[in-house]
Amino acid sequence: MIFALIADYSLPRPISSKPGELLPFLEAYIARKQQQIDEITQVVERYEKKQAAEERAYQTMSPLRRMLSGKKPDHHLAVEYIHYVKKPMEQVRKLRAEIEAVQEALAQNPLKKEDLPEEIRNQIISNM
């Protein structure tokens, strides 16, 4: 009897396949992912704006002052670009793909839990 109780707790609870119960969760999931995309793009835009301002300030300096102040080496700028722009934009592409997969699943009649991506199914199980 005790083994049956322990085994019962270790099993994941079944996912409800009723569309009425999944729709609010999926809409909230899409909203969270969209918010993450917006935050990442804001960070990238701030970085690009800061870089443009630094470049303008450097170009307005006199030649003597430019020689004394120095400029970041190109390879440093490349590493910064990869860190602050390229990798975050790859993450944005992944998030958009997840949103698209969920929207495709929502567009299907009837909505089945098997049509959802694995990550979303796991989140549904953990939230229940």
Q: How many domains does the chain have?
A: 1
Span 7-16, pLDDT tens digits: 444 444 444 4
| 11 domain-assigned | no
Its pTM surpasses 0.85: no
Look at residue 87 and tell me whether its pLDDT is greater than 80.
yes
Domain containing 95: what range?
19-127
Quote the CA–CA distance of 4 and 53 in Å, as a whole number: 66
Domain assignment present for residue 7? The answer is: no
Least confident of 3-12, 81-90, 113-122: 3-12
Rounded to the nearest integer, the mean pLDDT of the chain is 81
Q: Give a yes or no: residue 8 inside a domain.
A: no
Q: Is residue 6 part of a domain?
A: no
Q: How far apart are CA 102 and CA 117, in angstroms?
A: 7
